[in-house]
Structure 1
Amino acid sequence: MKAALIVCALALGLAGCSEYSRQDRAVGGAAIGAGTGALIGAAATGTGTGALVGGLIGAGTGAIIGAETTPRACWARDAYGNRYRVQCP
């Protein structure tokens, strides 16, 4: 159980490192969702199959939520240091 909590804490820490890229946020969301889903599936069923199914469902849901919650306001700076809005990647 301690190992699972450590893995979840590390996943949450890594998720905070993602920028505003949809791909980065989808990967972070999938990692967090997979870990959380596996923990809930294992706790609910007490079997490895429950953990696997929960992890798969959590990964898919986390990837979708992570990608769709990406902020759309991206900024860049020109050669003079002035900020301007750009299309997000």
Structure 2
Amino acid sequence: MKTMKKTVMCSLLAIALLGMGGCSSMSTRDRNTAIGAGVGALGGAVLTNGSALGTIGGAAVGGIIGNQVNTKKR
């Protein structure tokens, strides 16, 4: 059972990373939002043992944080 969860999580992470390859035409803010949502979803899933609500909540929080990150160089 543990091996199955680990395999599923690694597969989802790989899919998310491959999907990010299509983000070349996105703005920096859009890219940060997508990355934040992906990382948040993964974190939410890990912290709640794969709960759908935890995954969705993590994605929402991560997306908001990613959207608000200031990337201007000084």
| 1:51 corresponds to | 55
Letter aligned with residue 59 of structure 1:
G
TM-score (norm 1): 0.60
Q: Which residue of 1 aligns with 2:72?
A: 70
1:60 aligns to what SS in structure 2?
helix
**What displacement does 1:26 show?**
1.0
Structure 1 residue runs of 4 or more that deviate by more than 3 Å after TM superposition: none
Q: Which has the larger radius of gyration?
A: 1
Task: Map residues 19-30 of structure 1 onto 2, 5 A cutoff.
Answer: 24-30=27-33
Is 1:5 the counterpart of 2:13? The answer is yes
| Contact 2:41-2:56 within 8 A present in 1 as well | yes
Unpaired segments ≥5 residues, structure 2: 1-8
Structure 1 unaligned regions, length at least 5:
73-89
Equivalenced residue count is 64
Hey, what's the Cα distance between the residues in 1 that align with 2:41 and 2:54?
7
Paired AA for residue 11 in structure 2: A
User: Normalized per residue, which structure has more strand?
Assistant: 1
Residues of 2 paired with 1:43 and 1:37: CA distance? 10
TM-score by length of 2: 0.70
Instruction: Provide the rounded CA distance (Å) in 2 between the counterparts of 1:69 and 1:7.
Output: 26
